[in-house]
Chains A and B, each alone.
Chain A
Amino acid sequence: MRFEKTQRTPLVEMSNSHCLIVGECYPENISEWSQPVFAALEDCVGTQDSFDVDIELYYFNSSSAKFLFDFFEFLDDKADEGVSIVINWRYRAEDDTMQEAGEDFEEDIENCTYNLVEAESADA
């Protein structure tokens, strides 16, 4: 499943073993955008023993923060049920806002392996 990137929403790729989110996230209507993404996640996670998540966001607004929180909470519950889940939160070097955001989410994750990864600089 693939959700194309727009000016205000990131690219999302979802398979039974992997989820990739890259870009900026401040949708015009957060629930309209997030519902199909969340539905895809629910369909995919748990179909296999493990699931990997790569997230590289450059900006997200406060409405999207709630989506990300729910997204991680869902993954953490699945990990508690026995799925082996690895989350990689990627941020650009010197982007302290996204680094801090990654640290904030990390604090509420108990059952997933969570990595903060400093990514290479801008790919323009």
Chain B
Amino acid sequence: MTNLDTVGLHDFMQRRKTLFCYSGPLTEELLTTISNPVRHQLTENETPEAIANRVFGVFIEQAQNIIRYSSQKTKAAGDSVGTIAISYIDETFLIEAVNQIDSTQKSALEKTLLELSLKDQKDLRKLYRQRLKDGPPEDSQGAGLGFIEMARRVKRFEFDFNDSNSNPMFVYRGWVE
């Protein structure tokens, strides 16, 4: 037979304590549908509502980033492809997203995230309000607030660019507790 290793997939997800994972083309319509099981999983864990809301908020921003900025598109509909997951490890939620980006986007994204990682909550709040007043930057398809919003909701975050091929894979991880 083949080595599809379905049991291995199950074991892997269980071992890394992943409650929810989606990998494939992502659209706003699909996000509406998958929001329900995500909410359900968060409730199942008897998570305090304030924390569940933060996890959900980071999840939505990450999903919308994939929809807007993934450079990997399906042939048929041109939908954005990416992977998004929520795990619960040692009483901390990990929300992860990965998608391909255009290599020309990398340096600007890296700069933005580096700057955000150096700011404390007070500065993030200030920056968020300033961005609301100023409106979105030119290269943004949203309000330009997504990464600031996530930085405000997480305990910490990290990002990475996997450069093994010509199109970098952008990785974002946020921890909520």
Contact = CB atoms under 8 A, between A and B. Distances in A.
Interface stretch (A38-46, A77-85, A91-99): A91-99
A115 interface: no
A69 B60 contact: no
Nearest to B145: A62
Interface string B15-32: 000000000000011011
B135 interface: yes
Contacts of B28: 28-29
Contacts of A69: 132-133
Specify the main secondary structure of chain A where it touches its partner: mixed
A97 B57 contact: yes
Specify the main secondary structure of chain B where it touches its partner: helix
B53 A28 contact: no
A56 B133 CA distance: 22
Interface string A1-36: 000000110000000000000000010110000000
A116 interface: no
B69 interface: no
B13 interface: no
B57 A61 contact: yes
Given A7-B35, A62-B145, A63-B143, A94 B61 contact: no
B144 to A, nearest CB: 8
A104 interface: yes
A62 B143 contact: yes
Contact of B129 (A8, A26, A92, A104): A104
Range class of the B interface residue count: 20 to 34
Contact of A104 (B53, B56, B125, B143): B125
Contact of B32 (A28, A66, A122): A28
B177 interface: no
Contact of A66 (B35, B61, B132): B132
B173 interface: no
B50 interface: yes
A58 B52 CA distance: 11
A119 interface: no
Interface of A: 7-8, 26, 28-29, 58-59, 61-63, 65-66, 69, 92, 94-98, 100, 104, 107-108, 122
Given A28-B31, A61-B60, A63-B142, 15 more contacts: A28-B32, A59-B53, A59-B56, A62-B142, A65-B128, A65-B132, A65-B149, A66-B132, A66-B135, A95-B53, A96-B50, A97-B53, A104-B125, A104-B128, A104-B129
